[in-house]
Structure 1
Amino acid sequence: MKNIVKNLALAYMLIPSMAFSQEQVISKRIDSLFQVISEYKMLNGAAQITVNNNTIYKSSFGYSDFARGQSNTKTTSFALGSVSKIFTSIAILQLRDRGKFKLDDRFIKYFPEFPYPNITVRQLLSHTSGLPDYNVFESAVAKQPEKVFNNGDIIPLLKSLNQSLIFNPGEKWQYSNLNFCLLALLVEKVSGSSFEVYVAKKVFQPAGMSETYFYTSKHIKPLKQAINHDYPLFINTVPIDADSIKKVKWRTYNLNGLLGQGNIYSTTTDMIRFDQALYGTKLLKSESLNEALAVSQLNLGMPNITESALGKAVYGLGWYVLQDTTLGKIVFHTGGVPGAICMFVRNISRKQSFILFDNTFSPNVFNIGKNILKILNARPTETLRKSLTRDYVIALTERGIDNAFIKLCALKSDSLHYSLNEDEMNELGLQLLYAGKTPGHVSEALEVLKLNVLLFPLSFNTYDSYGEALAFAGKKQEAIEMYKKSIELNHQNTGGQAALEQLLK
């Protein structure tokens, strides 16, 4: 009996040690992941990870302002994009809980001028309304290119367009930012406050989110706010302020007055505070939060399944809910605006959460998120690979064709950290051809597109694009041969056939 007691006591003493060891392993794997991310510049932003309300990783990367060489820090604020929809969802559920309306009320009950009488509040909240997305502003922006549109413009615009819904309300699922702009109008209508004031008072303040705020064209940009950066073209070697890129002005300027769907900035610290607040009742009753995180059903009783950044998911009421529950119940939202992307993930079964920000719209963010989840739950990770196209174009632009070729060969051999993307190389070559500014831009375009043919010899499109460049450079016979090869690989290449017929005349 004494031996049994002794063994039990020993086992009891070992439990904290074993748990601590497992935490150490997770911490080391997280550190190793971010060392690779930092070394290969796969993230330009910030990250914070918590387990059981304890932060196990927090860091920042890259620049908040490339032009000034100003670094991102742990207190830099970033664009949340569509992650902002979570706050709108909370506001709606709070007001519903106060008896201001029912989720199955028709929106027209509160806005009689709304042109779609059958859409309910629930359908707006679950993206099953059938409303179109930002594209409804296309003609309005064209007519008033200097106007900053706000939520009050949406209903008059929908009435003036007089278009049918994409599908009957509740019949299908399709993401639309307009849904949440309209919900913001409802918040204002029933609360008597502006949407900004209501969310700040009823969501940000109770959650202790002192570093979170709305940012639209009427606000002054805070000093610690990261500038959203992007590359206008692949041939650009340094990202610039996305606000200065003409092709996205309709988003960064014309639609900058919209609320409910986005235009909120926050820090990693505040988003973790928000996560922790959701475990209590500061923001919502547990029943209401569970309702938001439940599977929304379509009219025929089918779940509204969609592909997401983490895999197949359903959309609840302002949240994505991952279908695969192997690692626990995982709820999340992603957000993206020109020049910025983010990801907020909560594993509510195991009290794990993380926030990732990037202010250069890095394509790596979602894969980084997947690997964080795997590490937190003792699973093997996927290899993160950086596209080598950007490094190649820097070498090409700064040091010439030969140096760039050597660089490409070196990076291509490092398949553990770099990948080669046919579409990116193709886009780079065509941009050099038509938008290049240097005296040798045509030669550079020919080099890139020729390399793409050699790297992807089974793709009809590489031959087609190389043929296009050869024809542009006056190399008619060579262009003919490339178009012939492209058509041989794809008999449905009607564009290539037309170009070939023109060359043979």
Structure 2
Amino acid sequence: MKLIWKIIIAVVIFGILAFGVASIWAFNEMSKIDELVISENDSLTEKVEKTDKWLAKLQKDNKFNGAVLLIKNDSVLLKNTYGFTDYTRKEKLTPQSSFRLASVSKQFTGVGIMLLKEQGKLNFDDAITNYLPALPYEKVTIRNLLTHTSGIPDAYMDFPKKYKKEIGSALTIPMMVELLAKENLPLENNPNEVHSYNNTGYVLLAAIIESVSGKSFEEFMQTELFDKLGMKNTRVWNLLSKEKTFPNKTWSFENILGDVVELKPGVLDGIAGDGGVFSSIDDFIIWNQFWYDNQLLSKTTMEEAFKETVLNDGTVINYGFGWSIFGKDAHAHNGSWLGARTSFARNTKLKNAIVVLDNSASMNVNSIVKQLVKVLK
């Protein structure tokens, strides 16, 4: 999230310097939404109807383009889409439309590691050099990568500038590991000393999955997770995938008050693990249920995902395996990459869930989630 806020701040500063007051006005308009007005006397049906109309208006006002899933007490209240699959705005979204999840992908990568643990092929506290021996980080464990406590510099997004010829059109997972080993960067701090959000660490987790399974990250996740769960519109996809597209795929764009621009994948989009998963709200019903009970992971292994992290000095960090943790019963994660703006939040005690998926670079997803909480009260 630190990177996201740096980007937002940079955009604001650039707007002030280059375009003046008009840009500040546009920025404010894009990030301002009307309140969802719900009365205490409204029936649940009335609340959902008002929410559906509110979301439709946000889409019409160019402030949201995506899909929303609301689950209350384990029952689906709202499952609908608002807008279009790409920048041409010709094809309408459906509940089967597959959105780039950005960093919400991290929980799927975490489950990939958990599956290998369940199969007896690794342990969470193994050194990562057992599986990636070229790296100079003997004291870093798989658990450190999962919880963002490795101390490894989050460096991979800088590699395309430094290694343009070596990388070519797309950085790959094996190439990222190779370049990280070549850089031989020292740890920024000792493992489990500091919690610092780290995309490089989750790409390394994908590399470990490839090393242990002997399959590509994309193939492993497809055969060992998505196919077994019946998630028909969920997959890993990037510039290295055999298919240039796939059924129900959405494409990223930016919508600035009706001025629409296509956002194309770039050199970093050969990478996965920190992102790279696409999914639909139909499949998120399955994915939400997965965390209550499934045939792939034991309860003991699943519980590891929601354990808070305790640093060396005893400080407790509210992050598990691809999840931010809010007390015993609530956890969530957001994502942002290209036009993807995504959020998945759950309360296991109430059996509630909110999924918001956007492919138009909306600045309002977090605000939308906060408003949607009203429907579940």
Would you call these one fold, judging by a TM-score over 0.5?
yes
Q: Write out per-residue CA displacement over residues 34-78 of structure 1, whole angstroms, 9 at most, x where no aligned residue.
A: 355345342111111122332211221122223353322332211
* Alpha-carbon separation, structure 2, partners of 1:182 and 1:112: 12
| 1:431 equivalent in structure 2 | none
Is 1:184 the counterpart of 2:206? The answer is yes
Is 1:72 the counterpart of 2:76? The answer is no
Is 1:333 the counterpart of 2:333? The answer is yes
TM-score normalised according to structure 2 size: 0.82
State the structure with bigger RCO (CA 8 A, min sep 6), 1 or 2. 2
| 2:251 equivalent in structure 1 | 227
Residues 49, 97 of structure 1: alpha-carbon distance in 2 compared, 3 angstrom cutoff: same
Q: Is the 8 A contact 1:77 1:265 kept in 2?
A: yes
The letter of the residue matching 1:104 is: D
Q: Is the 8 A contact 2:160 2:171 kept in 1?
A: no
Residues 376, 141 of structure 1: alpha-carbon distance in 2 compared, 3 angstrom cutoff: farther
Where do residues 7-156 of structure 1 align in structure 2 (5 Å cutoff)? 23-24=44-45, 26-28=47-49, 30-31=51-52, 33-67=54-88, 69-133=90-154, 134-144=156-166, 146-156=168-178
| 1:467 equivalent in structure 2 | none
Gaps of 5+ in 1: 1-20, 244-251, 305-313, 378-505
Deviates more, 1:141-150 or 1:103-112: 141-150
| 1:354 equivalent in structure 2 | 354
Residue 332 of structure 1: how far off its partner (Å):
1.5
Residues 294, 145 of structure 1: alpha-carbon distance in 2 compared, 3 angstrom cutoff: closer
Residue 87 of structure 1: how far off its partner (Å):
1.1
| 1:5 equivalent in structure 2 | none
Q: Write out per-residue CA displacement over residues 77-120 of structure 1, whole angstroms, 9 at most, x where no aligned residue.
A: 11011111111111111211222222111111222211111111
The letter of the residue matching 2:253 is: H
Q: Is the 8 A contact 2:70 2:76 kept in 1?
A: yes
The letter of the residue matching 2:307 is: A
Residues 302, 25 of structure 1: alpha-carbon distance in 2 compared, 3 angstrom cutoff: farther
The letter of the residue matching 1:60 is: T
Instruction: Give the one of 280, 286, 303 matched to 2:293.
Output: 280
| 2:194 equivalent in structure 1 | 172
* Alpha-carbon separation, structure 1, partners of 2:68 and 2:185: 42
* Alpha-carbon separation, structure 1, partners of 2:59 and 2:132: 50
Instruction: Give the one of 251, 258, 270 matched to 2:271.
Output: 258
Residue 333 of structure 1: how far off its partner (Å):
1.5
* Alpha-carbon separation, structure 2, partners of 1:91 and 1:136: 26
3-state secondary structure, aligned to 2:248: coil
Instruction: Give the one of 319, 323, 342 matched to 1:315.
Output: 319
* Alpha-carbon separation, structure 1, partners of 2:354 and 2:131: 37
Is 1:369 the counterpart of 2:369? The answer is yes
Residue 359 of structure 1: how far off its partner (Å):
0.9
The percent identity for this pair of structures is 31
Q: Write out per-residue CA displacement over residues 228-286 of structure 1, whole angstroms, 9 at most, x where no aligned residue.
A: 0026xx7x95221111xxxxxxxx32111112121121111011111112211223222
* Alpha-carbon separation, structure 2, partners of 1:33 and 1:238: 22
The letter of the residue matching 1:113 is: A
Residues 135, 257 of structure 1: alpha-carbon distance in 2 compared, 3 angstrom cutoff: closer
Is 1:239 the counterpart of 2:260? The answer is yes
Q: Is the 8 A contact 2:344 2:356 kept in 1?
A: yes
* Alpha-carbon separation, structure 1, partners of 2:101 and 2:186: 31
| 2:28 equivalent in structure 1 | none
| 1:397 equivalent in structure 2 | none
Residues 303, 25 of structure 1: alpha-carbon distance in 2 compared, 3 angstrom cutoff: farther
The letter of the residue matching 1:241 is: E
Residue 33 of structure 1: how far off its partner (Å):
4.0
Q: Is the 8 A contact 1:82 1:336 kept in 2?
A: yes
Residues 141, 122 of structure 1: alpha-carbon distance in 2 compared, 3 angstrom cutoff: same
* Alpha-carbon separation, structure 1, partners of 2:356 and 2:135: 37
Instruction: Give the one of 219, 244, 250 matched to 1:197.
Output: 219
Is 1:300 the counterpart of 2:300? The answer is no
The letter of the residue matching 1:51 is: K
3-state secondary structure, aligned to 1:255: helix
Residue 217 of structure 1: how far off its partner (Å):
1.2
* Alpha-carbon separation, structure 1, partners of 2:78 and 2:323: 24
Residue 125 of structure 1: how far off its partner (Å):
0.6
| 1:310 equivalent in structure 2 | none
Q: Write out per-residue CA displacement over residues 94-152 of structure 1, whole angstroms, 9 at most, x where no aligned residue.
A: 21122222211111122221111111110001111112223341443544573311110
Residues 71, 31 of structure 1: alpha-carbon distance in 2 compared, 3 angstrom cutoff: closer
| 1:247 equivalent in structure 2 | none
Residues 292, 34 of structure 1: alpha-carbon distance in 2 compared, 3 angstrom cutoff: same
Specify which structure has the higher proportion of helix: 1
3-state secondary structure, aligned to 1:353: strand
The letter of the residue matching 1:349 is: K
**Number of residue equivalences:** 334
Residue 288 of structure 1: how far off its partner (Å):
1.6
Q: Is the 8 A contact 2:149 2:196 kept in 1?
A: yes
Residues 48, 68 of structure 1: alpha-carbon distance in 2 compared, 3 angstrom cutoff: closer
The letter of the residue matching 2:252 is: N
